[in-house]
Amino acid sequence: MPAVARLRSVVVDCPDPRELARFYAQVVGGTPEGDDPDWVVLHVPGGPRLAFQRSPEHTPPEWPRADRNAQQSHLDLDAGSTWEEMDAAEERVLALGARVLDTEDDEKKDFRVYADPAGHPFCLCRIEQG
């Protein structure tokens, strides 16, 4: 059966679209576009667009609490196939303003969980070599 539509964008609510678009541009590449202070688009090389939409009352999720403002959604980002690449990626996202949510047992899970500057969870994932 043919698809009904193609994925155009993943849209993220946040208090400052331009600031969050700049953060993700440094993490996944691309250049934030648009003059509207309430809507900024990031064309991710080789991926879908990320769009950032102003939400002045945005309340970031409390990870991992499902009982209060559950995580809603998150991004999984490939960060390399070695632990050295994962460590380097972690160092870079922290320097860009991310904060650690969970790195416990990462060798068993092959991922680490962070919050972006607006509080959205995202994961740096180790790519399995198969």
Average pLDDT over residues 60-85: 77
Q: Which residues contact 69 (CB under 8 A, 6 or more apart)?
A: 59, 60, 61, 62
Tell me what the mean pLDDT of segment 68-72 comes to.
Answer: 59
pLDDT over 70 (residue 4): no
Sorted by where each starts, the structural domains of the chain and their CATH numbers stand as: 9-55 (3.30.720.120), 74-130 (3.30.720)
**pLDDT for the residue numbered 130:** 53
pLDDT, average across residues 75-93: 91
Q: What is the pTM of this model?
A: 0.81
